A and B are shown apart, each in its own frame.
Chain A
Amino acid sequence: MKTELLGVVASFLLTLLLAFPLGKYISKVFRKEKNWFDFMAPFERFIFRICGIDVTREMNWKQHVAALLSLNMLWLVYAFVMFLFQGSLFGNPDSNPSMSAHLSFNTAISFLTNCNLQDYAPETGATYLIQLAVLMFLHFVSAATGIAALVVVFKAMQDKVVDKMGNFFELFLKSITRILLPISLVIALLLVFHGTPASFDGKDTLITMQGDTSVVSRGPAAGMIAIKHLGTNGGGWFGANSAHPLENPDYFTNIVEIVAQCLIPFALVFSLGFFLNRKKMAWSIFGVMTVGMLCFLLPAMHAEMKGNPAFDHMGLSQTTGNMEGKEQRFGPAASSYWSILTTVISTGSINAAHDSFMPVGGAMQMLGMMTNCFYGGNGVGILNYYIFIIIAVFISGLMVGRTPEFLGRKIEAKEMKIATIIALLHPLLILTFTAISSFAITKNPELSWLNNKGYHGFSEMLYQYTSSSANNGSGYEGLGDNTPFWNITTGFVMLLGRFLPIIGPMAIAGVLARKKFIPESAGTLRTDTATFGVMTYAVIMILAALAFFPALTLGPLAEYFSFR
């Protein structure tokens, strides 16, 4: 048990150790300071030239949003069409069929929005061409979209009146060429050395020890698995995701993959500190995020390592903890750690079945996605956190008797309006759609969506929409989700849950940036203190978590109390 916990602590510390210098490097890239990857510049210039982009043309926040949305729109159409016709295209050694229209709709949105809710089984549902040219491509560009949007907000937060915040295309491309591409190359190599396939051959057959013939899917997987984690996407090459022995062969690759998915979210917090020269603030944000994560991790880990109380009642020994749905090579501690980080960070890749976690673990995974800002996905995590900072600044500003201001700008009605709409959106999407599906299944009990009846069935639906709105992509596999209803509703939830929370912070930051900059004085409320951290945490928990209390009561909490 001790070694299990040690493995968890080690992977967290390793992430921290790598993320700090990476944060500094990211800040250098976007501040255009000298950095290691300046040799990419001619290549970047080449791309800009053939695309006819003038990177010296700086953009205001509205132009940034327009650029972001038009790029994404283009990819959405591209992905949708490719899925519809994948069966008749080349690069299909296993002869997989084309996707249905509603599945194409869902999958295109799902990968575009960095969510990767996979309502299809990749081994039989996606061709190699699709996996590489569409899915892996979207892994890169969706992650870069998030990072670029965040950098726009960084630029708006500087200590001066700012109108133009760089060129979106430049920020976007550099996120790929300077950050995502080089690091995922390293990760892919590490995975390949440990047994993850990287070949264009089709399925392999092997004879098992029992003498049965088994067919194993393969493919050029290592690259996609690398970026799926680094880009906090989570859509895997194989259906079982990182629980699959080829996608995540051993404990070492498990550490590589968990470090990879936390790396950029951690690093971006530090890069905020370096970029704005507010290191204390970066640490205070990181502190709150870590405390928030630990508050979910510890109960989940405790419940998993303790095992199922039903087993105890039967007098069965379970020294290894709850092993249902877990991989022998990872165990409950590493699986809990992964499951919480993958939900707070919105990766949504899994190395154990979330459906089979104890109710406490399930509740914590859902809370991770409901708050969706403790580290969070690439770029978008801090953007979500930014919304809560605005609200926390507003309330605490009042509490100290000053018109609220954040980084030298007054927070007024317009900013509050945007911030509250974005904060509202998440509960609105999750609760409304879960209510619709609950209503549908209550009226039509013959629908075969749910693998489990009762509380757990409710949790499956709640989890699905939570995961969609948080752009997480993990799921309770008990839910039969490849139906028009689920594909279409989650498609819309993912779209809204992705783009509004990106546009909102960009708009607030853009509006604030144009306001008069007020230098700090003795009466200014500092936003980099522990006290303000507590305030932000309280706002997140009350606004984001409390709204879900009744829903969680009918799902995992009811399950938990009936288990005891």
Chain B
Amino acid sequence: MNAQATKQKSTSLLNPELLKQALKHAFVKLHPKGMIRNPVMFTVEIGTAVMLVVIVNILLTHTRSQGSLAYNIFIFIVLFLTLIFANFAEAIAEARGKAQAESLRKTREETPAKLVAPVGELRVDEIQIVSSSQLKKGDVFICETGDTIPTDGEIIQGLATIDESAITGESAPVIREAGGDKSSVTGGTKVLSDKIKVRVTTEPGESFLDKMIALVEGASRQKTPNEIALTILLAAFTLVFIIVCVTLKPFADYAKTPITIAALISLFVCLIPTTIGGLLSAIGIAGMNRALQANVISKSGKAVETAGDIDVLLLDKTGTITIGNRKATRFYPANGIDDSRLVEACVLSSLADETPEGKSIIELAGKDSWKNLSLEGTAMIKFTAETRCSGIDMPNGKRIRKGATDSIRKMTEKAGHVFPAETATKVQEIAANGGTPLVVCENEQTLGVIELQDIIKPGISERFERLRKMGVKTVMVTGDNPLTAKFIAQKAGVDDFIAEATPLDKMNYIKKEQSGGKLVAMMGDGTNDAPALAQADVGVAMNSGTQAAKEAGNMVDLDNDPTKLIEIVEIGKQLLITRGTLTTFSIANDVAKYFAIVPALFITSIPALQGLNIMRLHSPESAILSAVIFNAIIIPLLIPLALKGVEYKPIGASALLRRNLMIYGLGGIIVPFIGIKLIDLVIRLFF
């Protein structure tokens, strides 16, 4: 995804439309039925309700034992705001996710579709124009130049160039064709040329985007196992403080220090982890949003989380580690063969060769080499897996072949020629250096060898280094022979490789790692990748891949970018870190809050406890108010952090723990001391 697309998709936090929508939802979410899913905030809601009862009671009976009316109303308002802030955090995360998903979905809504009407069992090309929303799974439609593809599907006939910029932000068109691994098209993309026949693969409202939107909206959002465990911990903290506050009443009665209900509820709300409790679901949604921003559609929140735990990463060599395909880098003529003769043979055999390797040979030979050559009357010999060579038959009877060493060798030796020793050594040498040797012969006589080299992507070895520091082992998957694979693996800095890989090899490798307790992630696009994608703990299917691959994986990458896995791992880690650090921060805050509220509770009856008032807060009322106000406003202040996520640094687990403990643990102890004191300086003017 390019930078422009990122900008376009990351909705600004201060978008007034979003804010308004989120604010409305913040009030709607006050319904206890929804609140009970979050035990921490639910208890705050109960506390707020109790305060309301206290206020009504004061109004009716004019009792003075519970403090002044204004003070009680103030506490009520602050508690109510705490609830609103927490709900707002969740609502804004949902709104942002929805906005992102909607902007993707908008492109595909209500586009006319050229439905191919079935006639009995047959489908003749009788076209019927319907709305895209009427397309059902199994329907077949046609798209021609200029048409917008109405929905997700699989090409069953034809080939077309397609502009996928609406989805990926990438302006370069891509080719999609029937059969093979690039047969999938996405709704909302545009056909630039040619005509394709597509079969619909999803029911309306069940595309990946629809699923993602549903996840973000919370209708089908389920708590992940980790979220459940954290909720248990937070519920336990809440319970401890319920016990602390309830028992405080008889303790205070024994010490003859009456405590007002407002003070008791304030103490309780301050002590329970409202900060993390209020932000917890926002963090989870934001994690999925970040994945969406990276143009990855996750089928569940759990998949994003699991990505953070990945131990082993399977990466395809081509496209991920190396740039596209191999390039010819040098010609090595055999002894006694003229340099120009080899080049001419190479060029002749490659002129009609459309493969990237063939083109790169022409490129290497240079323009001058083929100006005077003509292909008239020649016959192309296509590459087959059996012969493992390709070539050209000239009208003058010349037969030029280029191909794998052993097949050319067999061919020449069969014809009675000797395979030149220096070419054999050269072949060895090229392979050892990570290249692919391509031997060329003319009329079964070896002319020399072409060296094809893989170009390793710039910056890729740094990324692998980063992954290694995260504790992720990288494995390169390639169809190359072990020698070449080893060379590239070393050069790129991956930890391991699978050479001459078949889909079964991948599968076995994943199973082997998993049986050792490792979590494995892989990316794939082909149908034959589907079993491995399903087996992997995190399987990322490319959007261009086949439907089978997309069904098997638990994420879909809209950009078809093989390096995306690295980003996904970081998003997963960020999600957990944000949860962990904010929990720590929230709990560490309790120290300062205790020192603000506990002396305030008893100071009137036990003046000696002024010694505990280390912040020198003005009065019991101002101390309690300052603490609850701090407790409330810290939630909106941390919303940006919750949505953005705490940065992940690959500096090793212990160093990272040290760092986060310093910032969020120690910071969590110190910040509220300062914050509460500052608020008190303002509040003291009123109480």
Counting CB contacts under 8 A, is B679 at the interface? no
- CB contacts (< 8 Å) of B657 on chain A: these are 396, 399-400, 525, 531-532, 535
User: Is there contact, CB below 8 Å, between A521 and B471?
Assistant: yes
Return the CB mask of B462-495 against A: 1 if under 8 Å, else 0: 0000001111110000000000000000000000
User: Is there contact, CB below 8 Å, between A551 and B247?
Assistant: yes
The distance from the CB of B172 to the nearest CB of chain A, in whole angstroms, is: 34
User: Is there contact, CB below 8 Å, between B251 and A416?
Assistant: no
Nearest residue (CB) in A for B306 is: A403
The distance from the CB of B496 to the nearest CB of chain A, in whole angstroms, is: 13
- CB contacts (< 8 Å) of A542 on chain B: these are 587-588, 590-591
The distance from the CB of A543 to the nearest CB of chain B, in whole angstroms, is: 7
Segment of B105-113, B137-145, B318-326, B658-666 in the binding face: B658-666
User: Is there contact, CB below 8 Å, between B311 and A523?
Assistant: yes
User: Is there contact, CB below 8 Å, between A561 and B654?
Assistant: no
Nearest residue (CB) in B for A546 is: B590
User: Is there contact, CB below 8 Å, between B594 and A557?
Assistant: no
Counting CB contacts under 8 A, is A564 at the interface? yes
Counting CB contacts under 8 A, is A186 at the interface? no
CB interface residues, A 511-535, toward B, < 8 Å = 516-519, 521-526, 529, 531-532, 534-535
CB interface residues, A 529-564, toward B, < 8 Å = 529, 531-532, 534-535, 538, 542-543, 546-547, 549-551, 553-554, 557-558, 561-562, 564
User: Is there contact, CB below 8 Å, between B255 and A455?
Assistant: yes
Counting CB contacts under 8 A, is B376 at the interface? no
Q: How many angstroms between the C-alpha atoms of A523 and B602 in the bound complex?
A: 48
The distance from the CB of A489 to the nearest CB of chain B, in whole angstroms, is: 14
Nearest residue (CB) in A for B599 is: A553
CB interface residues, B 597-656, toward A, < 8 Å = 598-599, 601-602, 606, 608-612, 648, 652-654, 656
**If the complex has contacts A523-B653, A531-B661, are A420 and B233 also in contact, measured as CB distance less than 8 A?**
yes
Return the CB mask of A452-466 against B: 1 if under 8 Å, else 0: 001100100000000
Q: How many angstroms between the C-alpha atoms of A396 and B235 in the bound complex?
A: 18
**A531 touches which of B229, B469, B611, B654 (Cβ 8 Å):** B654
Q: How many angstroms between the C-alpha atoms of A523 and B656 in the bound complex?
A: 10
- CB contacts (< 8 Å) of A398 on chain B: these are 226, 230, 576-577, 579-581, 583
**If the complex has contacts A427-B244, A458-B254, A551-B247, are A416 and B232 also in contact, measured as CB distance less than 8 A?**
yes
**A523 touches which of B230, B233, B471, B591 (Cβ 8 Å):** B471
Counting CB contacts under 8 A, is B3 at the interface? no
User: Is there contact, CB below 8 Å, between B653 and A438?
Assistant: no
- CB contacts (< 8 Å) of B652 on chain A: these are 522
User: Is there contact, CB below 8 Å, between B472 and A438?
Assistant: no
Nearest residue (CB) in A for B226 is: A403
Counting CB contacts under 8 A, is B420 at the interface? no
Counting CB contacts under 8 A, is B333 at the interface? no
Counting CB contacts under 8 A, is B90 at the interface? no
- CB contacts (< 8 Å) of A532 on chain B: these are 654, 657
Q: How many angstroms between the C-alpha atoms of A538 and B665 in the bound complex?
A: 9
User: Is there contact, CB below 8 Å, between B580 and A523?
Assistant: no
User: Is there contact, CB below 8 Å, between A427 and B243?
Assistant: yes
Segment of A33-41, A64-72, A297-305, A428-436 in the binding face: A428-436
The distance from the CB of A148 to the nearest CB of chain B, in whole angstroms, is: 28
Q: How many angstroms between the C-alpha atoms of A402 and B306 in the bound complex?
A: 9
User: Is there contact, CB below 8 Å, between B608 and A561?
Assistant: yes
Q: How many angstroms between the C-alpha atoms of A196 and B293 in the bound complex?
A: 78
- CB contacts (< 8 Å) of A519 on chain B: these are 516-517
Counting CB contacts under 8 A, is B253 at the interface? yes
Q: How many angstroms between the C-alpha atoms of A421 and B611 in the bound complex?
A: 34
**If the complex has contacts A523-B653, A529-B654, are A547 and B580 also in contact, measured as CB distance less than 8 A?**
no
- CB contacts (< 8 Å) of A434 on chain B: these are 247, 251
Counting CB contacts under 8 A, is B559 at the interface? no
Counting CB contacts under 8 A, is A394 at the interface? yes
Counting CB contacts under 8 A, is B295 at the interface? no
Interface size on B, residues (CB 8 A): 78
The distance from the CB of B534 to the nearest CB of chain A, in whole angstroms, is: 19
Counting CB contacts under 8 A, is B572 at the interface? yes
Interface size on A, residues (CB 8 A): 65
User: Is there contact, CB below 8 Å, between B244 and A438?
Assistant: no
User: Is there contact, CB below 8 Å, between B517 and A401?
Assistant: no
The distance from the CB of A557 to the nearest CB of chain B, in whole angstroms, is: 7
Segment of A176-184, A232-240, A275-283, A407-415 in the binding face: A407-415
**A403 touches which of B254, B267, B309, B518 (Cβ 8 Å):** B309
Nearest residue (CB) in A for B569 is: A401
Counting CB contacts under 8 A, is A417 at the interface? yes
Counting CB contacts under 8 A, is B114 at the interface? no
Counting CB contacts under 8 A, is A90 at the interface? no
User: Is there contact, CB below 8 Å, between B609 and A553?
Assistant: yes
Return the CB mask of B536-579 against A: 1 if under 8 Å, else 0: 00000000000000000000000000000000000011111101
Counting CB contacts under 8 A, is B308 at the interface? yes
CB interface residues, B 486-524, toward A, < 8 Å = 516-518
**A442 touches which of B239, B254, B606 (Cβ 8 Å):** B254
Counting CB contacts under 8 A, is A391 at the interface? yes
The distance from the CB of B266 to the nearest CB of chain A, in whole angstroms, is: 13
**If the complex has contacts A395-B583, A403-B226, are A431 and B590 also in contact, measured as CB distance less than 8 A?**
no
- CB contacts (< 8 Å) of A531 on chain B: these are 654, 657-658, 661
Q: How many angstroms between the C-alpha atoms of A458 and B610 in the bound complex?
A: 20
User: Is there contact, CB below 8 Å, between B660 and A400?
Assistant: yes
User: Is there contact, CB below 8 Å, between B654 and A526?
Assistant: yes
User: Is there contact, CB below 8 Å, between B574 and A401?
Assistant: yes
The distance from the CB of A97 to the nearest CB of chain B, in whole angstroms, is: 35
- CB contacts (< 8 Å) of A428 on chain B: these are 243
Counting CB contacts under 8 A, is B246 at the interface? yes
**B576 touches which of A403, A413, A420, A561 (Cβ 8 Å):** A403
The distance from the CB of A313 to the nearest CB of chain B, in whole angstroms, is: 15
Counting CB contacts under 8 A, is B416 at the interface? no
Counting CB contacts under 8 A, is B405 at the interface? no
CB interface residues, B 227-269, toward A, < 8 Å = 228-230, 232-233, 235-237, 239-241, 243-244, 246-255, 257, 267
**A413 touches which of B225, B574, B598 (Cβ 8 Å):** B225
Q: How many angstroms between the C-alpha atoms of A402 and B581 in the bound complex?
A: 12
**B248 touches which of A522, A529, A550, A562 (Cβ 8 Å):** A550
A394, A398, A439, A561 — most chain B CB neighbours (10 Å): A398
Counting CB contacts under 8 A, is B298 at the interface? no
- CB contacts (< 8 Å) of A400 on chain B: these are 577, 580, 653, 656-657, 660
Counting CB contacts under 8 A, is A295 at the interface? no
The distance from the CB of A96 to the nearest CB of chain B, in whole angstroms, is: 36
- CB contacts (< 8 Å) of A416 on chain B: these are 229, 232-233
**A435 touches which of B251, B468, B573, B602 (Cβ 8 Å):** B251
Counting CB contacts under 8 A, is A397 at the interface? yes
User: Is there contact, CB below 8 Å, between B517 and A517?
Assistant: yes
**B243 touches which of A391, A417, A547, A558 (Cβ 8 Å):** A547
User: Is there contact, CB below 8 Å, between A402 and B243?
Assistant: no
Counting CB contacts under 8 A, is A424 at the interface? yes
Nearest residue (CB) in B for A539 is: B587
The distance from the CB of B254 to the nearest CB of chain A, in whole angstroms, is: 4
Counting CB contacts under 8 A, is A345 at the interface? no
Counting CB contacts under 8 A, is B584 at the interface? yes
- CB contacts (< 8 Å) of B163 on chain A: these are none
Nearest residue (CB) in A for B650 is: A523
The distance from the CB of B658 to the nearest CB of chain A, in whole angstroms, is: 5
**If the complex has contacts A400-B660, A542-B587, are A554 and B653 also in contact, measured as CB distance less than 8 A?**
no
Nearest residue (CB) in B for A531 is: B658
Could you give 19 example pairs across A and B, Cβ below 8 Å?
A394-B229, A401-B308, A401-B576, A416-B229, A416-B233, A420-B236, A431-B244, A435-B247, A438-B251, A442-B250, A521-B518, A543-B237, A547-B243, A554-B255, A558-B255, A558-B608, A561-B609, A561-B610, A564-B611
- Known contacts A549-B598, A550-B594, A564-B608; can you find 12 more A-B pairs with CB under 8 A? A400-B580, A400-B653, A402-B309, A421-B236, A436-B250, A442-B253, A442-B254, A458-B251, A521-B473, A523-B311, A524-B653, A535-B661
Instruction: In the A-B complex, list the 3 residue pairs whose CB atoms are closest, starting with the nearest.
Output: A523-B471, A398-B580, A401-B573
